[in-house]
Amino acid sequence: MKRTSWSSGLSVTADGVGVISHAGAIAPRLLADRVGLTDELSGAMARRRFIPVHDRGRVLIDVAVMLTDGGESISDIGVLRHQSEALGPVASAPTVWRTLDEVTAGKRKKIQVARARTRRHVWSLMPGGVPASKCAGRDLGSTIVLDVDATIVVTHSEKEHAAPTYKRTFGYHPIGVWCDNTEEFLAASLRPGNAGSNTAADHIEVLGQAIAQVPAAHRRDLLIRSDGAGASHDLIDWITEQNSVRGRRVEYSVGFSITAPIRRAIATCPEAAWGPALNPSGDIRDGAEVAELTGFLTPRMLAKWPDGMRVIVRRERPHPGAQLSMFEEIDGWRYQAFVTNTATGQLQFLEARHRAHARVEDRIRHAKDTGLGRLPSREFALNQAWLVTVMIAADLVAWTRMLAFTGDAAVLALCEPKALRYRFLHAAARLARSGRRRRVKIPETWPWAVAIVAVFSTIAAIPKPA
């Protein structure tokens, strides 16, 4: 039998009707309407005596849906325009440009308020409540975990405020905050490429915005995690001051540099003070140990930091070929330290809790797969507006995952953005009309057809906010 017999009689024409190529992308758009985000954004973008042909809130949602669907440039809005029979009128690329240009600093603040109001409603709908953050085989209960981190976005042209980065690339250095419980992208700030990694003012700004995004009922117990870039006096002092807010407890877990006082404390720390470290599953990790150095540091050194700060260090045998500092070469251990104000809890668990901050790297990678990796304009203000739509897109994915990927659709719950597009968002369908009703028909042979139908049924049943 010929290997190419499958293609016998096959031809391709461009005269198909009633066909939708990205049927799954309707779901996040429908979700935005059901939870009230579209209406909230419309109010935030409204201008007196200006009635646009395309509602600006709808345009922002469509851009976010386009990014969720894998779009990388503003012209990719044409994919949604192709589905006008199902979605209705969709703005053109020039209208999207104008909408982003209208997102001024004042509008961005209003959009933050709109997102916070919608988030409050979404969190009230979660079956079983807000998911608990997990680490080392345990969960943190009602604690809301905020992970802050910065990343490099490389540009290949002279965009406004793009600059050389500390990694010897060229572009921007945005900083953002993600909620580890829900994977939502709460807040972000677009910065020039030469912005400092440990600039306390930038950390404080985005963390303040992120806390405002958390519904008030859930701000009573917060944990802020950061790598060593957050180990500054100003940031630690600011977090400590948040505990003065009545009814609020804010803890931190921040990476700390191995300075001379830390090295002296390590040298004086007895072997009996070291205990086994844990891996992400909660089992003992071979070749890794944890100790608290707070009692081995001088009062003078600790006096510079807020009361209650604990210094914890981890040591681990390095992998073959790893480069060690001169201090580490003395005994062959690699050391990593962090500080926390958590007064109770097993030492090993606190260290494992801090290392779970590494999950933020996945959140950043997902954001770069959903618009953050390519900023569309030479103008800094337009790129800031684009970042707003990236956060909205990340929220729509997170909300769809938590509210709709249940029951028969649970098979989609663990999909990363690329897999989600392959299985769900890019599914083809046929649009059938019967009377005044339209039916989107997913091919019955599609492996995830049952899950897709379940997603739409769940979203359609979501009650609209009062």
Per-residue model confidence (pLDDT) at position 85: 87
Q: Tell me the β-bridge partners of 291.
A: 313
299 pLDDT band, cuts 50/70/90, is confident
351 pLDDT band, cuts 50/70/90, is very high
Per-residue model confidence (pLDDT) at position 6: 83
15 has a pLDDT exceeding 90: no
d(CA 262, CA 256): 9
Per-residue model confidence (pLDDT) at position 399: 97
2 pLDDT band, cuts 50/70/90, is low
d(CA 264, CA 434): 78
- The average confidence (pLDDT) of the chain is 92
Among 11-20, 108-117, 149-158, top mean pLDDT goes to 108-117
Write out the DSSP string of 153-172: EE-SS--TT-EE-TTS-EEE
Per-residue model confidence (pLDDT) at position 125: 93
Per-residue model confidence (pLDDT) at position 318: 81
Per 3-state DSSP, what percentage of the chain is helix, strand, and coil (rounded to 5)? 45, 20, 35
d(CA 404, CA 120): 17
Taking the alpha carbons of 56, 382, 185, 359 in that order, is the dihedral positive or negative?
positive
Side-chain half-sphere of 266: how many Cα atoms within 13 Å? Answer: 22
109 has a pLDDT exceeding 60: yes
Which of 87-101, 142-156, 307-321 shows the lowest mean pLDDT across its residues?
307-321
Q: Tell me the β-bridge partners of 148.
A: 177
Q: Which tokens hold the place of 447?
A: 């492996």
412 has a pLDDT exceeding 90: yes
Per-residue model confidence (pLDDT) at position 391: 97
When pLDDT is averaged across residues 384-392 and rounded to a whole number, the result is 97
Q: Which residues contact 149 (CB under 8 A, 6 or more apart)?
A: 175, 176, 178, 226, 227, 229, 357, 360, 361, 364
Residue type, 272: A
Q: Which of 100, 92, 97, 9 is CA-nearest to residue 53?
A: 92
More confident residue, 147 or 50: 147
Write out the DSSP string of 226-263: E-GGG--HHHHHHHHHHTTSTT-EEEEEEEE---HHHH
When pLDDT is averaged across residues 8-24 and rounded to a whole number, the result is 87
When pLDDT is averaged across residues 284-307 and rounded to a whole number, the result is 89
Q: Which of 264, 251, 408, 414 is CA-nearest to residue 330?
A: 264
Residues 54-70 as b/e (b if ≥16 CB within 10 A, e otherwise) read bbbbbbbbbbbbbbbbb
Residue 465 DSSP label: P
Per-residue model confidence (pLDDT) at position 389: 97
Judge whether 184 and 37 are in contact, CB under 8 Å. Answer: no
66 has a pLDDT exceeding 90: yes
Q: Which of 227, 219, 228 is CA-nearest to residue 357?
A: 227
42 pLDDT band, cuts 50/70/90, is very high
When pLDDT is averaged across residues 430-438 and rounded to a whole number, the result is 87
Q: Which of 84, 103, 91, 105 is CA-nearest to residue 63?
A: 91
Write out the DSSP string of 183-236: --EEEEE--BTT--TT-HHHHHHHHHHHHHHS-GGGTTEEEEEE-GGG--HHHH
When pLDDT is averaged across residues 41-53 and rounded to a whole number, the result is 88
d(CA 188, CA 173): 11
Q: How far lies 372's CA from each of 28, 152, 153, 363, 375, in Å?
A: 18, 10, 7, 11, 7
1 pLDDT band, cuts 50/70/90, is low
Q: How far lies 405's CA from each of 24, 201, 414, in Å?
A: 13, 38, 9
When pLDDT is averaged across residues 61-68 and rounded to a whole number, the result is 96
Task: Report the share of the chain in percent with pLDDT over 70.
Answer: 100
Pure H helices in 251-359: 260-268, 299-302, 328-331, 347-355
Judge whether 225 and 210 are in contact, CB under 8 Å. Answer: no
